[in-house]
């Protein structure tokens, strides 16, 4: 019975048309193709932490690259943004550090990455210094207004 179901699924997928592909929700592509936070580490003291954030992103050059990672609160307050000045085509995943991240040890925050042409990724980390951070996911539209808050990248070096 499972084998028959498998054959039906294969037949169905082979019968998709160009029209089916045209009707794909573009936000699904953003979720799958966006930058992903895969690990974070931190050091320092309350209101003066340094974060080291590991990102996996589909960089192709300045036309498509992870251009920042950020720390923000659940109420959409931007705490810190680390601008990434160039693409990382040949360095995947990559880790970049930044700070001073001005949070208390018990403050719950999100850490996520942004692509210059795809927007925010859905794979994030959330938590606090005192409880630790864990992989999480958010809608790519969560706290979307932060996209226009400074600091913002001015150029891509390569």
Q: Residue 100 maps to which CATH number?
A: 2.60.40
pTM, entire model? 0.79
In-domain check, residue 107: yes
**Residue 100 resides in a domain:** yes
pLDDT at 96: 98
Note the pLDDT tens digit of each residue in 6-26: 333 333 333 433 333 333 333
Does a structural domain hold residue 94?
Answer: yes
Domain count for the chain: 1
Q: Give the 3-state secondary structure of the chain.
A: CHHHHHHHHHHHHHCCCHHHHHCCCHHHHHHHHCCEEEEEEEEEECCEEEEEEEEECCCCECCECEEEEEEECCCCCEEEEEECCCCCCCCCCEEEEEEEECCCCCCCEEEEEEECCCEECCEEEEEECCCEEEEEECCCCCCHHHHHCCCCCCCCCC
Domain range for 91 = 25-139
Least confident of 10-14, 29-33, 75-79: 10-14
Taking 90 as the threshold, does the pLDDT of residue 158 lie above it? Answer: yes
Average pLDDT over residues 112-139: 96
31 pLDDT tier (thresholds 50, 70, 90): very low
């Amino acid at each position: 019975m499972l084998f028959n179901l498998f054959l039906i699924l294969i037949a169905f997928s082979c019968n998709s048309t160009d029209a089916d592909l045209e009707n794909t929700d573009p936000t699904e592509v953003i979720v799958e193709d966006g930058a992903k936070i895969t690990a974070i580490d931190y050091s320092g003291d309350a209101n003066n932490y340094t974060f080291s954030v590991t990102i996996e992103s589909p960089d192709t050059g300045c036309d498509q690259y992870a251009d920042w990672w950020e720390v923000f609160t659940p109420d959409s307050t931007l705490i810190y943004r680390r601008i990434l000045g160039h693409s990382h085509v040949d360095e995947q995943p990559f880790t970049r550090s930044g700070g001073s991240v001005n949070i208390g040890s018990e403050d719950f925050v999100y850490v996520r990455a942004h692509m210059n042409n795809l927007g925010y990724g859905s794979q994030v980390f959330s938590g606090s210094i005192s409880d630790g951070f864990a992989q999480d996911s958010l809608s790519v539209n969560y706290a979307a207004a932060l996209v226009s808050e400074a600091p913002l990248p001015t150029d891509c070096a390569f």
